[in-house]
Amino acid sequence: MSTAATTTATVTVTGMTCGCCANSVRDEIGRVPGVTAVAVDLTDGTVTVDSAAQLQPDVIATAVVRAGYAVAD
Ligand SMILES: [Cu+2]
């Protein structure tokens, strides 16, 4: 077990259809302060975000919108 204090959040993103969509979302979320890793699953449309501290959910949603996509409820 790692002792690193990492928080993981998973969001469902709508509208991603290919690898470049995934890259756009990954880049935007990756710019959010505190984010340490972003993993996009195109099949599920889910994005898993690791961060050093707890993020507000709307911070991720805002980054997704900035990339041109939307977070599903
Ligand atoms: Cu695309």
Distance (Å) from CA 42 to ligand 1 centroid: 10
Distance (Å) from CA 64 to ligand 1 centroid: 14
Give the total number of structural domains in the chain: 1
Q: Who has greater pLDDT, 1 or 4?
A: 4
Between 11-20, 51-60, 64-73, the lowest mean confidence (pLDDT) is in 51-60
Q: What is the pLDDT of residue 38?
A: 98
Torsion of CA 54, 57, 60, 62, to 10 degrees: -140
- Which CATH number fits the domain that encloses residue 32? 3.30.70.100
CA angle 44, 28, 70 (to 5 degrees): 50
3-state per-residue secondary structure call for 6-33: CEEEEEEEECCCCHHHHHHHHHHHHCCC
pTM for the full predicted model: 0.88
Are 26 and 13 spatial neighbours (Cβ–Cβ below 8 Å)? Answer: no
Distance (Å) from CA 24 to ligand 1 centroid: 8
Range of the domain at 55: 7-71
1 domain residue, yes or no? no
2 domain residue, yes or no? no
Name the 3-class secondary structure at 39.
strand
32 domain residue, yes or no? yes
Distance (Å) from CA 25 to ligand 1 centroid: 10
Distance (Å) from CA 65 to ligand 1 centroid: 14
20-62 pLDDT tens trace: 999 999 999 999 999 999 999 999 999 999 999 888 879 999 9
